[in-house]
């Protein structure tokens, strides 16, 4: 055999598994279809831009202990977004006075932050729900009513689509409750890596034992043949040329759910022979969510253009609106740089990601103009450059991150255990702790699979 363990995918999960296994004496072959490590961690550093721009994962959500230990070990600097959150609810802004300072801002900021659960009757009811699993849309239609309930519907559906990248027509309310409980543990705090998220991927790779790691970039896995005690992975180049297969006693598969669910013959798709029943069951209970994000480099921080500005919130961090194209925006505050990042998720994002990159940037610019009350011409004149990576059209991602559909938690559980002590699955989509879609879930599940092998 070529190695003790083959790992498919050199994203955060695969790198975490490789680090742990090589340090414990296992020979590992790490296969990555892209010409770089990191997976959905993608950092760019354009000339003339003061800080790195993230095209994929951006935030450290909360203070998960495992993640914080790695951040410290890697010598990374985390910058906390601690300014204003403005939220548009029922046609009015919650979040602060236009001076953006002082006690009034703190009070209104808490008002915006607390609306998510404490003042949202639908999410509060989901957290109390003890009945059968339902889709969010079915829960909304059958489990409540009244003016406050009706007023919360648009925001709640938008929250599920935006934050969870989920379709309200299929997402599980039991899973939403689980993610909300996980978020409650310091989850309202958001940090971004000052030096760039790719520094974490580089550190994980550097922390592997180089004598026990074979890293192969630009190599695509096309078929996984396996039987108890042996895995053979058939490979090709990015251009489609066949390469020699590799074999090992075990394999850890960290490929995104979107890739695992891709039909045979589609770019990036991987065939399993035989196809594990556990994987088939899991894929029927989890879906790859879609998200579109655009970072705009501006001529100036127009939200801090003086007290006479049309939109004056100098300590702005998050801007949450109900805009149908791109409702969510954030700055780099407390860093004072002229960057704004827009975000949309769920069905709206799936429609938007069918467009070309230039069209996505133009649509985002227009949405921002609508939200802050600028003309579209004035906003376009402020934009120097737009940056976007279309993860939905990326054949090695096929979406942003995962969400669980009705009954999916039970279907997903078997995928977290070894299959015949030979196949192991990891990645954010296999998380069972309510952290789906996060980097710390990817890291934790990669380490979980590695520890299962080490046992």
Q: Do 174 and 315 reside in the same domain of the chain?
A: no
As a whole number of angstroms, the distance between CA 338 and CA 331 comes to 8
Sequential pLDDT tens for the chain (455 residues) = 999 999 999 999 999 999 999 999 999 999 999 999 999 999 999 998 999 999 999 999 988 899 999 999 999 999 999 999 998 766 677 775 544 443 334 444 444 544 554 579 999 999 999 999 999 999 999 999 999 999 899 989 999 999 999 999 999 999 999 999 988 765 568 899 999 999 999 999 999 999 999 999 999 999 999 999 999 999 999 999 999 999 999 999 999 999 999 999 899 999 999 999 999 999 999 999 999 999 999 999 999 976 556 788 999 999 999 899 999 999 999 999 999 999 999 999 999 999 999 999 999 999 999 999 999 999 999 999 999 999 999 999 999 999 999 999 999 999 999 999 999 999 999 999 999 999 999 999 999 999 999 99
Q: Do 298 and 369 reside in the same domain of the chain?
A: yes
As a whole number of angstroms, the distance between CA 412 and CA 174 comes to 13
Burial of 356 (0-12, 13-18, 19+ CB in 10 A): exposed
Q: Do 218 and 280 reside in the same domain of the chain?
A: yes
Instruction: Give a yes or no: residue 69 inside a domain.
Output: no
Q: Do 319 and 236 reside in the same domain of the chain?
A: no
Q: Rg of the chain's alpha carbons, rounded to an integer?
A: 22
- Name residue, tokens 């559980």: 413
Q: Do 309 and 382 reside in the same domain of the chain?
A: yes
**Domain count for the chain:** 3
Q: Do 284 and 407 reside in the same domain of the chain?
A: yes
Q: Do 208 and 273 reside in the same domain of the chain?
A: yes
Q: Do 235 and 92 reside in the same domain of the chain?
A: no
Instruction: Give a yes or no: residue 177 inside a domain.
Output: yes
Q: Do 296 and 373 reside in the same domain of the chain?
A: yes
* Domain CATH number, residue 107: 3.90.660
Instruction: Give a yes or no: residue 48 inside a domain.
Output: no
Q: Do 93 and 128 reside in the same domain of the chain?
A: no
Instruction: Give a yes or no: residue 260 inside a domain.
Output: yes
Domain that residue 216 falls in: 3-40+197-288+396-454
Contacts 24+ apart (CB under 8 A), 106-115: 108/84, 109/84, 109/85, 112/85, 112/86, 112/87, 112/320, 113/85, 113/188, 115/87, 115/89, 115/155
**Which residues, including other chains, have CB under 8 Å from residue 34's CB and lie 6 or more apart?**
10, 217, 218, 396
Instruction: Give a yes or no: residue 53 inside a domain.
Output: no
Q: Do 201 and 179 reside in the same domain of the chain?
A: no
Instruction: Give a yes or no: residue 64 inside a domain.
Output: no
Q: Do 123 and 104 reside in the same domain of the chain?
A: no
* Domain CATH number, residue 214: 3.50.50.60
Number of helices and strands (H, E) in the chain?
15, 22
Q: pTM, whole model, 2 decimals?
A: 0.93
As a whole number of angstroms, the distance between CA 450 and CA 2 comes to 18
Distance of CA 344 to the CA centre of its chain: 12
Instruction: Give a yes or no: residue 63 inside a domain.
Output: no
Instruction: Give a yes or no: residue 58 inside a domain.
Output: no
């Amino acid at each position: 055999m070529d190695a003790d363990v083959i790992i498919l995918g050199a994203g955060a999960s695969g790198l975490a598994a490789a680090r742990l296994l090589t340090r414990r004496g296992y020979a590992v072959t790490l296969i990555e279809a892209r010409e770089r490590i990191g997976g959905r961690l993608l950092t760019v550093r354009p000339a003339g831009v003061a800080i790195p721009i993230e095209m994929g994962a951006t935030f450290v959500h909360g203070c998960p202990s495992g993640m914080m230990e790695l951040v410290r070990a890697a010598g990374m600097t985390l910058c906390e977004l601690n300014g204003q959150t403005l939220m548009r609810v029922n046609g009015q802004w919650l979040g602060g006075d236009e001076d953006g300072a002082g006690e009034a801002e703190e009070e209104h900021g808490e008002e915006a932050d607390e609306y998510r659960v404490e003042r949202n009757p639908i999410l509060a009811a989901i957290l109390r729900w003890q009945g059968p699993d339902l889709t969010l849309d079915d829960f909304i239609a059958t489990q409540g009513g009244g003016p406050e309930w009706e007023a919360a519907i648009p925001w709640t559906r938008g929250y599920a689509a935006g934050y969870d990248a989920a379709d309200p027509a299929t997402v599980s309310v039991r899973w939403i409750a689980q993610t909300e409980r996980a978020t409650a543990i310091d989850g309202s705090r958001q940090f971004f890596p000052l030096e760039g998220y790719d520094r974490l991927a580089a550190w994980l790779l550097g922390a592997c034992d180089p004598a026990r790691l074979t890293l192969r970039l630009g190599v695509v896995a096309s078929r996984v043949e396996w039987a108890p005690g042996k895995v053979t992975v058939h490979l090709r180049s990015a251009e489609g040329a066949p390469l020699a297969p590799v074999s090992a006693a075990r394999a850890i598969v960290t490929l995104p759910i979107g890739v695992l669910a891709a039909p045979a013959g589609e770019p990036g798709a991987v065939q399993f022979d035989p196809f594990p029943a556990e994987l088939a069951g899991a894929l029927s209970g989890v879906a790859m969510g879609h998200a579109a994000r655009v970072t705009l480099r501006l001529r100036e921080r127009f939200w801090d253009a003086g007290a006479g500005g049309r939109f004056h919130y100098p300590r702005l961090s998050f801007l949450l609106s109900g805009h149908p194209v791109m409702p969510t925006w954030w700055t780099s505050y407390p860093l004072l740089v002229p960057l704004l990042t827009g975000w949309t998720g769920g069905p709206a994002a799936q429609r938007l990601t069918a467009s070309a990159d230039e069209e996505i940037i133009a649509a985002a610019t227009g949405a921002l103009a609508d939200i802050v009350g600028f003309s579209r011409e004035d906003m376009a004149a402020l934009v120097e450059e737009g940056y976007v990576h279309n993860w939905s059209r990326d054949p090695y991602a096929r979406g942003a991150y995962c969400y669980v559909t009705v009954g999916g938690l039970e279907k997903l559980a078997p995928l977290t255990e070894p299959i015949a002590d030979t196949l192991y699955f990891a990645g954010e989509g296999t998380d069972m702790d309510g952290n789906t879609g996060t980097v710390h879930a990817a890291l934790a599940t990669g380490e979980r699979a590695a520890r299962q092998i080490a046992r």
